[in-house]
Structures are given as C-alpha cells and as structure tokens.
Structure 1
Amino acid sequence: MMSTLSFSSGLLGRQLSAAALALASCGTLQAQTLTIAAYPAVDSIAKSAATEWKKKHPGADIKIVSRSFADHHTAMTTALSTTSNLPDVMVLEVGYVARFAENGGLQDLSQAPFDIKAHQAKFVPYAFKQATASTGAVVAVPTDIGPGTLLYRADLLKKAGITESQLTSSWDNYVKAGVQIKAQTNAYLMPHARDMKDIIIRSNLQAGEGLYFDNKGKPLINTPRFERAFSLAREVRTQKLDGKINAWSTEWTEGFKRGQIATQMSGAWLAGHLNNWIAPQTKGLWRAAQLPEKSWASWGGSFYAIPKGAAHKPLAWDFIQMMTMQADLQLKAFKAEDAFPALQAVHKDAFMDQPIEFLGGQKARLLWREAAQKTTAIDVHKLDPIAEEIVNTELDKVLDQGKDIRQALQDAQSLLERRARRS
C-alpha cells in the first residue's frame, strides 16, 4: 500500500519540479513570496508542508496568514469584493465556496493551464462537485471532507437500556430512544432541535434538487422534505430532548464534558475535536455510527482556491496540487489533524483500519470511508445562505412560538421566492 502512495508522491514531485524549473527559466521565481490565507487547522497543515514546498521552489518564500474561522472568511469576502489584499491561495470552507463561486472572484481551474478536470477521478465525487459552479467552472480543489456520522455516548445508552440499532434504525426510533435516554440519564438527545432539521433536509434529495432550490432556481421549502424536518424538530423540542444549545458555545463544550449530551450528528472531524480539546476526559465513552436511515450527508470540508487577481498563480497552483494530490501529505494531515482526506488514494491506506482509542477501539474510519463514498453531491445556489437564515427563522417560530408548520413553510417559501426574483 505504501508503495502506491510513494509512487503517486514521486510522480507528482517530478511534475512539480518540472514546473519549478519552467518558472525559474522564465526568471519569474526569484524573490517571489507565495501568500496563503487559511483558518485552523488548515493553517497548521500548510505550515507543516512549507519546508517541502520550499525545497521544490528554491528562491521562493511562503507566507501563511492565519485568522479565526469567522474572521478569515470575512477578510476573504472583503478581499474578493474590493480586489485588494488578495492572497495567492485562499482556503475556503465548503459553505463559502458556492457563495464566492457565483460572484465570479475565483479562478476557473477547469481551464488551461490548470485543467483540474483531468484529476477529477482522484477526489471523492461529491467533494469535487461541491467546487463546481452552475456555469461548469471549477473554482476550488477539495483537501478535506466531513463524512456525516452519529457520535453517541455508549455509557449513557447502556444506562438507558438502548442499543445502537434502536438509535439508528429510523429517525422516529431515534427520537423514541431519546425519550428513554432522557428519562433514565437526564441527558439530552441532542444539543439543539435545529440539528434534526439540518440533517433531514439533507436526506433523500431527488435528481435536480439542491438543498433549498431546484435546478431552475425555484425554492423547495414548502415540500414534504421540509415538513418532515420541521415536524421531527418540533417533536424533539416538545419531548424536551434538546438543551437549546448552540454549536461551539461554551455550554455546548461543557455539555460534552459533563455527559449532558448523548448524541451529536456531525462530520467525522468532531471525534478528533472531542479527543483533542473539547472533552478528552471522555475517552473511551464515545462510539460512531452511520446516521439513522442511512441518511448519507456531509458536514464541512476545506478547499483551496486561487483568486482571479492573485499575483503568483503558477506558484499557487503548484502549492495546491501538492497539498491536495500528494498522498503522503494528505495522510500526514489525516493523522495529525483528523482531516479526513478528499484524495481517494489515501482511503486505501492501512491507517483506515486502525482502531481509534477515543472511540473505545472502534475502527470508525471504515464507517466514515463508506459514508464518503455514498454521499451524493448537493447542487448549490448563491442564495443558499439567505435561504438557511429564512428557514431557521421560521423554525424558531415553530419551536418557540408554536407557529403552524405548514404556515411557516409557506411564509419561508414566499419570502425566498421574492428574494430570488430580485437576485
């Protein structure tokens, strides 16, 4: 297996070296500084690869600008809109890729000399699709992904007399199990009822459907998919199975530490966060499972993109190829930062078979690999962030004010239709 990885790395290394020589022969390499803008933990991954990149590009330097997740994307939004202070490479979370792609500020990597489509088969299919704009332009390259998983506290389930199959056989049984868990352990089934809505609307999408819009730009809010999502979320709230806790809040992290949250639907990366900094003292108590009803979904994922106004595009492209297509670096990032690789060659590595101590010795990466392969790409729309805000506002009215679900969906549909007509 390692020979396969080494061959791929060697081949790419020769390609990059050739590119470096070409640049040097043109006299463009000397005294150039490649600027990378990133957020944690992609910044750490980039820093760890900087030495190798410099060896491939003698005479060039590399500068990594790191900001918090929110500050980074705010800065990138400003940079693209003003075409000032642009980095050569910007890291983007998947939720921002579509937004920036539709605004036209990112380089189309499907065109020469990049020709990223020649490498499409190397990546997890849904991740590559996430970087493809409605025009067919490919504006970014995936580096890590977030296969959807259900993390649960095995000790709390045992105390409540609940098995994993009871938890995952259906969404209705998941809620029923939550009632028993709450009664026997006083732990919440999930942090927030909104989590239920978020997964259900991502399940069982039909051809031509995006999350909020169809392929003709028509909103899809007032549909059975959203009605089921709202109904299950309301059931969670009615049964007092959620703590009304927002993700990434202090209350959220404390809930994990104190055993007040029995399950969390998320990307596979959350297991690493729990182990590394959120709740390391809970090692051995957690397990991973596929989502109920085999609802394949993804949470998050990081991409490398080149702004159209970047100053050093050849160097930027060499860096992106190294970080996304060099198997040994992808594996290194996987081991160090739990960054589940978008590069499919790494999925064959023996590391996938190793038990995870934090998850009680479970070989959970095999579950996540299966989820990565079975997750289908969801078509994106530039108004998705606005649609999410509108839907969440109406869900809050249902959960907190008792608003009728069908009326809430109709109101959200009407508002989104008006916004779509103005865009």
Structure 2
Amino acid sequence: MKLKTLTLATVTALGVASTVNAANSEIRFDGFPDFDSSLKVLLPDFEKETGIKVDYLMNNHGDHHTKLTTNLATGSGAGDVIVVDVEKIGPFVASGGLVNLSENYGADKYAESFAPYAWAQGKGADGDVYGMPVDLGPGVMYYRTDVFEKAGIDLNEAIKDWDSYIKAGEELKKKDVYLIASAADVAQAIIFTTVPEGEGLYFDKDGNPVVTSERFVHAFEVAKEIRDKGLDARILAWSNEWYEGFRNGTFATQLSGAWLLGHLNNWIAPETAGNWGVSHLPDGIYGSWGGSFLSIPTQSKHQDEAWKLIEYMTTKRDIQLKHFETIAAFPANTTTYDDDLFQEEVAFLGGQKARLLFADVAKNIKPVAPAKGDHVARSIILENALMEVLDEGKDIETALKEAERMIKRRTRNL
C-alpha cells in the first residue's frame, strides 16, 4: 500500500497561489500499479494548473477492487477518483455508488473522442456515463524473439490458428521451454474475443447465461489440450513465479493486453529488454484484454475537483499520450491515434513499432456490453470450472453445465 502526499508548501512552490484553501482542494486517487508511475508524471502540471492537491493510494489489483466493493457498499472509505477495471465496471455501476457523469458534468459531449466499445462499457442501464475510459487493453501476444529464433519457429506460422500455436509449443518443449505460463490464459482469450453479435461475455441480451455455448466449449478444449500435452508452466498471473518466468525465459509467449509492456519494462523484467516482440493474438482474433475507467463515488465530498482530474486524464490528448508513453496504457481517446508517438520504435521490443499494432487491434474490437453479473460469472467460469477441467480432469460439458446452474443461482437477485 502506498500513500503519496504533497504539502501546501510544495503546491505553492509549483506556482499555485498560497491563498488556496487546502481543505477544499485536496482529493484522493485510489488505484493500482502501474498508475502510480503515471501519476508521478502527470500530477505536477495538474496541481499547478488547478491548485488541487492529489494524494494517491495504491493497492494491488485484487485488493483495490475488494476494498472498493466494501467502500461502495458502506458509503465510506473510497477516494474521490477511483480506477475501475473493465471487469468490475458493470457491477460497480449497478451498485448505485457512482456519480452520474452525464447528468452532473455533461460527459456525453466527449463521446465521439473515445473508442466506441469502451464508451459503451462505462454506461449504466439508463444510458448515462458512470465511468470515463482512461485506457484500453488491445489483446496481443508477447513472445520471446530469442527463444523463437533458437527453436526455429516462424511467428506468422505459430499464430495462424490454435493448432499451429500448439505445434509451436511442442517445438518449444523440445528446448525445455513452456509455450505459456498458464493454459487458462488461452481459454480466457478465446472467451473474451469471440463473442457473437448481440451477446455479452457471459450472458445474452435477456440476461440468460451462455456459458454452455460452443464458444466456451472450444475455449476449454484448446486450453485442456495445452495442459494435457504439458505445454504450459502451470503458473498463475501476478504471482512471484510469473514474474520470475518472464525474467528467466521459462515460457515463450504471454497472451495479454497491450498494457503488459509497461509492467515488463518498468518493473517485472526490464533486464530482458530487446528479447521480446509483440504480435496479434493467434487464430486471427481481435479483442479487449483489460482496460480501465475513472469514476467518482457518490460518497466523495469533492466531486467537482474529482471531475476536473478525470477530465484532465481522459480528454486531453497530450495527457493521454503521456500516460501511454509512461506505462504503455493504450489511450482510450481515439484523437491520439495519429500522433507521431505511434510511429516510434519501442526499445524494449527490439525496436518494433508496436504502438501501430496496438492501434490496429483497438480499431478492430467490437463492442461487448457489460452485464451486472459478469464478475460472478467470471469467477465461476475462470476460477472454478476451468480449473476443475485443467487441474482435476473434469469433463468439460459437465463443468460448464454445473457452472451455468451456479451462475443462475448466484445472479438471481442481482
């Protein structure tokens, strides 16, 4: 946990008049790493321009959202601006604990400046905006260029389809390298990126779960084949083993959002710079893998100041670009996409012009409307049913049918 505070003297030194009433111009930003790296760069100018001091409180991704769930339920303890992951925006909006940004601040005037699918995800059932998109998660595959070269694997062949991807994994296994940290990531990629038109991630337009459909069966089958052939390292994301795997080259690929670049470069494995490349996901799929929103809890005592920070971070082109440059958080604001920054080579990726690839993916992602039961369904499918199939050998159709029953029961009163 980290709390950063600027004193009034510091604010004054930045050029803000000393007559600023500190009690009325202090707000707190609650988020998760690597937002702190970005805030260190963005906040000095914001504080200088507005006289609003910003403290920030960072918790790891899971703890941050657990804490916010409690804060919104009890009506106290949340910051004035909160970061909400795309997987949580639906239930958080449905909780009624977030400020209506359309009604209170005219947020809709910015609609045309944002990726349509992300803008739709920040809306409530009433069609109003409760979360402003701050960054997107274009789905990509990071891969070890040095390992692929030594194994004689052609990248374009490896990502042609899932059979080719698995075949590449079999070649890597001969070199004592795993294809991926966890087969579960492959299942997640397929589930997230092959949503039929009119469906949500886990529910149809009428709120019925669709988790026994071919999309989920296929996702589980591909993941199970990878596991059965011993091609994954059985390492879960955000664990110490995962970090070490990136540093040591334990696995050769990782399916993720574009944002993983910032984590790899800034703190997970900076010493591996030059040994990585990034590509489209296998099987020609396009989809979102993560993404963040900025919201204001209704419990905030400084909502106007909070909105100024949200506006600053989401609607200003140069700020969105700086956020992108600092932590590889891909801009939600599409007015940035013609900037020269996208043409620059990324040193960590061996000079690849990776941002052009990120933009191509972002432009091809189709909107998937969030549902208030998504967080429940995600937990049941990815943390329970999938693990039973991969770790315990449970029959796929049986696992999905049981998951469907559990989802219906647990979302009945949402």
Q: For 2:178 and 2:367, how far apart are their aligned partners in 1? A: 31
2:5 is matched with which residue? none
Deviation at 1:134, TM superposition (A): 2.8
1:397 maps to amino acid: E
**Pairing 1:330-345 to 2, within 5 Å after superposition:** 330-345=320-335
Percentage of matched positions with identical amino acids: 40
1:80 maps to amino acid: L
1:181 maps to amino acid: L
Counterpart pick for 1:232 among 211, 222, 232: 222
Q: For 1:61 and 1:354, how far apart are their aligned partners in 2? A: 33
Q: For 1:215 and 1:153, how far apart are their aligned partners in 2? A: 40
Contact preservation (8 Å) 2:84, 2:294: yes
Q: For 1:62 and 1:395, how far apart are their aligned partners in 2? A: 41
SS at match of 1:179: helix
1:37 is matched with which residue? 30
Contact preservation (8 Å) 2:389, 2:399: yes
**Pairing 1:186-201 to 2, within 5 Å after superposition:** 186-201=176-191
Q: For 1:373 and 1:205, how far apart are their aligned partners in 2? A: 16
The alpha-carbon distance between structure 1 residues 88 and 409, as it changes in their structure 2 partners (threshold 3 A), is same
**Pairing 1:292-311 to 2, within 5 Å after superposition:** 292-311=282-301
The CA deviation string for residues 240-275 of structure 1, in whole angstroms up to 9 with x for no partner, is 001110111111111111111010000112122222
Contact preservation (8 Å) 1:212, 1:384: yes
Deviation at 1:238, TM superposition (A): 1.0
Deviation at 1:380, TM superposition (A): 1.3
Question: Are residues 1:400 and 2:359 paired?
Answer: no
1:188 maps to amino acid: Y
Counterpart pick for 1:55 among 26, 48, 61: 48
Contact preservation (8 Å) 2:138, 2:257: yes
Q: For 1:186 and 1:371, how far apart are their aligned partners in 2? A: 32
5+ residue gaps, structure 1, are 1-23
Q: For 1:150 and 1:239, how far apart are their aligned partners in 2? A: 21
Q: For 2:56 and 2:236, how far apart are their aligned partners in 1? A: 31
Q: For 2:391 and 2:360, how far apart are their aligned partners in 1? A: 37
1:8 is matched with which residue? none
Question: Are residues 1:100 and 2:71 paired?
Answer: no
Contact preservation (8 Å) 2:80, 2:297: yes
2:3 is matched with which residue? none
Question: Are residues 1:347 and 2:330 paired?
Answer: no
Contact preservation (8 Å) 2:135, 2:292: yes
Deviation at 1:28, TM superposition (A): 9.5
What TM-score do you get using the length of structure 2 for normalisation?
A: 0.90
SS at match of 2:289: strand
Deviation at 1:42, TM superposition (A): 1.9
Question: Are residues 1:163 and 2:192 paired?
Answer: no
The alpha-carbon distance between structure 1 residues 66 and 203, as it changes in their structure 2 partners (threshold 3 A), is closer
1:56 maps to amino acid: E
Counterpart pick for 1:116 among 107, 120, 123: 107
Question: Are residues 1:176 and 2:167 paired?
Answer: yes
Counterpart pick for 1:206 among 170, 193, 196: 196
Q: For 2:265 and 2:288, how far apart are their aligned partners in 1? A: 20
Q: For 1:219 and 1:61, how far apart are their aligned partners in 2? A: 45
2:15 is matched with which residue? none
Q: For 2:38 and 2:296, how far apart are their aligned partners in 1? A: 18
Question: Are residues 1:139 and 2:130 paired?
Answer: yes
Contact preservation (8 Å) 2:142, 2:256: yes
Question: Are residues 1:287 and 2:280 paired?
Answer: no
2:251 is matched with which residue? 261
Q: For 1:29 and 1:276, how far apart are their aligned partners in 2? A: 33
Question: Are residues 1:88 and 2:77 paired?
Answer: no
The alpha-carbon distance between structure 1 residues 38 and 395, as it changes in their structure 2 partners (threshold 3 A), is closer
Question: Are residues 1:314 and 2:304 paired?
Answer: yes
Q: For 1:349 and 1:384, how far apart are their aligned partners in 2? A: 35
Q: For 1:285 and 1:86, how far apart are their aligned partners in 2? A: 41
The CA deviation string for residues 65-93 of structure 1, in whole angstroms up to 9 with x for no partner, is 33333333233222211112342211222
Contact preservation (8 Å) 1:31, 1:61: no
Deviation at 1:47, TM superposition (A): 4.0
2:325 maps to amino acid: K
1:75 is matched with which residue? 67
Question: Are residues 1:249 and 2:239 paired?
Answer: yes
Deviation at 1:356, TM superposition (A): 1.1
What TM-score do you get using the length of structure 1 for normalisation?
A: 0.88
2:46 maps to amino acid: W
The alpha-carbon distance between structure 1 residues 198 and 157, as it changes in their structure 2 partners (threshold 3 A), is same
| Higher mean displacement: 280-289 or 348-357 | 280-289
Deviation at 1:196, TM superposition (A): 1.2
RMSD: 2.1
1:419 maps to amino acid: R
Q: For 1:108 and 1:366, how far apart are their aligned partners in 2? A: 34
Q: What is the aligned length?
A: 396
The CA deviation string for residues 95-126 of structure 1, in whole angstroms up to 9 with x for no partner, is 22112111111011121x41211111111222
The CA deviation string for residues 212-262 of structure 1, in whole angstroms up to 9 with x for no partner, is 111110000111111101110110011100111011111111111111101
Deviation at 1:29, TM superposition (A): 9.3
Contact preservation (8 Å) 2:134, 2:332: yes
Q: For 1:145 and 1:228, how far apart are their aligned partners in 2? A: 26
Q: For 2:412 and 2:81, how far apart are their aligned partners in 1? A: 34
